[in-house]
Structure 1
Amino acid sequence: MTPAARVQAAIELLDAIIEAAQSKGAPADRLIAAYFKQRRYAGSKDRRAVRELVYRAVRLCGEVPASGREAMLALAQEDAQLAALFDGSRHGPAPIGADEQPATAGLAPQWLSERLAASGIDARVGAALLERAPLDLRVNALKARREALALPEPAEPLLAPHALRLEAAANVEAWPEYRAGFIEIQDHGSQWMCEAVAAEAGETIVDLCAGAGGKTLALAAATGNDAEIIAADTDKRRLGNLAPRAERAGARIAQTLLLDPGREMEALRPWEAKADRVLVDAPCSGSGTWRRNPESRWRLTPAMLGRLAALQDHVLDIGAQLVRPGGTLVFVTCSLLDSEGPQRIDAFLARHPGWRATAPDMPVGRPRGKGLRLTPYHDGTDGFFVAILRSS
């Protein structure tokens, strides 16, 4: 592909990504993979260059662009070499018209930027939210020790006890160490969320929104497989990924429960008021993960955030039914919006007199409301909010 043809390919992909964001279609990475699957002539350098152009444009545009061309024009506005490739050549984009307007640069759509600002997200933190994320690993303590593990590429030890960081992209899932279960891909901040649970051997622990089980596996490792861990979720597809992951990791999960939305306690009744610790890693907007999925900020609407807040209240109330007297309920969201963090804790305490909330004692994060917030700018992690709730 010529450089101009790469620009045109990026424009076509951006058109598809914009349409999918508006219709809640496939994510950008899946669209990019499908695009090149149909274009076998594109070499690895072409694919890498086009992908880079696409994500640069997505990160730059705050409002949802009207078209892929407008998004690429915004990028060309600050890159003269890129602008020169709008030359009308074969397979390249048409020359830039005198009256053409580029898409608007910014952090996010205006309404969402305003909510982030109201949540204390300043320009520095906002900019860090749109940088490229490093690749973090968790060394599986059931099978390996961080200080003794040799990997195919250099990795930097991080502050979390089992965390390593690769600065460059790597096909980790092809490594023998991954296939043997020595390592898992897990953001440094996500590892700290598991540390916040403070799981101990001999306890009964419910991972209420387990998903594919990344945190479930970390809890099993933290307790040396000496805890009764129940992994529950309403998503059959994601929960189905846990069993093979647990087998590879050598992790013992006592029970995996598929929950019926709205009737969750029917399956969870055996653990009512019996769990020592309940982790609620609640469904959320994912605003703390924009480094990895920058187009997801185009998918949010005020109505969606309202529904997510209601769902977070719902799963917190379920978690409260499972915790034994004196037990611990850990609330986590990968969001930097107060409506998905401090405000949910305040609402919970208003509904549940006799409970109290505190921030976990960790060497990362900053106080926010009655919990703790981690950000890419301050902590080099994805964005998270976490709070500890205890019953009397």
Structure 2
Amino acid sequence: MTPQARLSAAIEVLDQILAGAAAEQALTNWGRASRFAGSGDRAGVRDLVFDALRCRRSYAALGGALSGRGLVLGGLRDRGLDPAEWFTGIGHAPSVLGAADAGFPAEGNVGLDCPDWLADPLQAALGDDFAGVMQAMRRRAPIFLRVNLAKAAVAEARAALADEGILCRLNSLAKTALEVTENARKIQNSQAYLSGMVELQDAASQAVIAALPLRDGQRVLDYCSGGGGKALAMAAQARLDVDAHDVDPRRMRDIPARAARAGVQIKLVETAAIGTGYDVILTDVPCSGSGSWRRDPQGKWALTPARLAELCAIQADILDRAAQIVAPTGTLAYATCSMLRAENEDQIAQFLKRNPAWHSPHQQRFSPLQGADGFFVALLTRES
């Protein structure tokens, strides 16, 4: 495919997404219908689509319309390229520009690709970092790996990856975190990954695990486990008895294979079978995902005030339920990949108001300006 043909393909996919399709499904459907497209073409179209979704508001302004054509056109203008050289109508290129394609400057919240209703809450949470964080969220997220200390030391894993052409640098957020700087697309077929030496995991997510008071012999529960990334990370930190739970057990279906590859033991527990007396419970709760919008840019535009309120209610319920099964001297950890105070500090303050026998000895935010996703973690313990 020519570069111009990739633009046309991205326009087609974006129109499907704007009509309500999920981004991954729309890309998959296009790939299946476009057998002529090679792996490089599919990757190129995917990059165009996700760049446009991250910058949907500013690209629509620059391109003159919230449409696939407007978003792709706005992306060219954002990069300082002359759209007339790309929108030629020749071959598979998008049709030539017309009066309807005139755009306008992207300023204020539009230029930051921030929904208006979220600007004030994010400003309140981020302070002087607001503009810098929102600009960071307009760009692709770095790729991070977690070194599985149950199988290799950090230096050993880094060297093994380098032998396969995958170059990484250390990240200060967590001692196990490696940021991939070259050949990220080789990771999932690399021996280092297939052998369980490394796992894909954001550096801030790893830092959340590093904040937990994990020690040999503890019983630990990953209460909202999903695919089990944090359960795997905990199991690699110490000799633990790790249980994984999710309200939808289907989300945990890959955990046994991932645990076997990593060389750790994780027990899957359904809701009715959850015990009590856990030394550490991690509740990585459902949230707005505002700290990971770079990875799920559709989530930024799909979030509504009603959905945020619903999520906050779910979070409070999970905290109250998990608090009932922590050992008397145990630790309840609360984590989100959100940057909003309503889901973070305010949620913890409300929990402590409902449960005066508890306190929070540690709370920490991780900012996209540190390179990784936006995350929040709070530790909760009973007063002695």
> Normalized against structure 1, the TM-score is what?
0.87
**CA–CA distance in 1 between the matches of 2:51 and 2:207?**
29
How many percent of aligned residue pairs carry the same amino acid?
A: 39
Cα pair distance change 1:106/1:148, threshold 3 Å: closer
SS at match of 1:194: helix
Structure 1 match to 2:224: 209
1:64-83 matches, cutoff 5 A: 66-78=66-78, 79-83=80-84
2:265 is matched with which residue: 252, 257, 267? Answer: 252
Aligned 8 A contact 2:112 2:131 in 1: no
Aligned 8 A contact 1:61 1:74 in 2: no
SS at match of 2:99: coil
SS at match of 1:77: helix
1:191 correspondence with 2:197: no
Aligned 8 A contact 1:6 1:50 in 2: yes
Q: Cα offset for 1:127?
A: 0.9
1:144 is matched with which residue: 141, 145, 152? Answer: 152
1:117 correspondence with 2:120: no
Q: Cα offset for 1:346?
A: 0.9
Q: Cα offset for 1:105?
A: 4.4
**CA–CA distance in 2 between the matches of 1:74 and 1:81?**
11
1:311 correspondence with 2:314: yes
1:327-338 matches, cutoff 5 A: 327-338=330-341
Aligned 8 A contact 1:204 1:227 in 2: yes
Structure 1 match to 2:253: 240
Deviates more, 1:30-39 or 1:174-183: 30-39
1:178 is matched with which residue: 173, 193, 205? Answer: 193
**CA–CA distance in 2 between the matches of 1:146 and 1:221?**
13
In the alignment, structure 1 segments of 5+ residues that lack a partner are: 260-265, 360-370
Cα pair distance change 1:101/1:301, threshold 3 Å: farther
**CA–CA distance in 2 between the matches of 1:88 and 1:97?**
12
1:358 correspondence with 2:371: no
1:55 correspondence with 2:50: yes
**CA–CA distance in 2 between the matches of 1:105 and 1:124?**
12
Q: Could you give the per-residue CA deviations for residues 172-221 of structure 1, whole angstroms, max 9, x where no partner exists? A: 12111212111111111111111111211111111111111111111111
**CA–CA distance in 2 between the matches of 1:54 and 1:83?**
20
2:374 is matched with which residue: 380, 383, 387? Answer: 383
Aligned 8 A contact 1:212 1:242 in 2: yes
Q: Could you give the per-residue CA deviations for residues 329-377 of structure 1, whole angstroms, max 9, x where no partner exists? A: 1110001011111111011011111111132xxxxxxxxxxx2111111
**Between Structure 1 and Structure 2, how many residues are aligned?**
363
SS at match of 2:245: strand
4+ aligned runs moved over 6 Å, structure 1: none
Structure 2 match to 1:41: 36
Structure 2 match to 1:220: 235
1:10-25 matches, cutoff 5 A: 10-20=10-20, 25=21
SS at match of 1:388: strand
Q: Which has the higher contact order (CA 8 A, sep 6+)?
A: 1
Q: Cα offset for 1:94?
A: 2.4
**CA–CA distance in 1 between the matches of 2:4 and 2:235?**
51
1:344 is matched with which residue: 316, 334, 347? Answer: 347
**CA–CA distance in 2 between the matches of 1:95 and 1:312?**
50
Structure 1 match to 2:107: none
SS at match of 2:330: strand
Q: Cα offset for 1:314?
A: 0.8
Aligned 8 A contact 1:277 1:323 in 2: yes
Deviates more, 1:67-76 or 1:6-15: 67-76
Cα pair distance change 1:310/1:102, threshold 3 Å: farther
Aligned 8 A contact 1:76 1:83 in 2: no
Aligned 8 A contact 2:51 2:139 in 1: no
> Normalized against structure 2, the TM-score is what?
0.89
Aligned 8 A contact 1:88 1:94 in 2: yes
Aligned 8 A contact 2:112 2:135 in 1: no
Letter in 1 for 2:18: I
1:154 correspondence with 2:149: no
Structure 2 match to 1:263: none
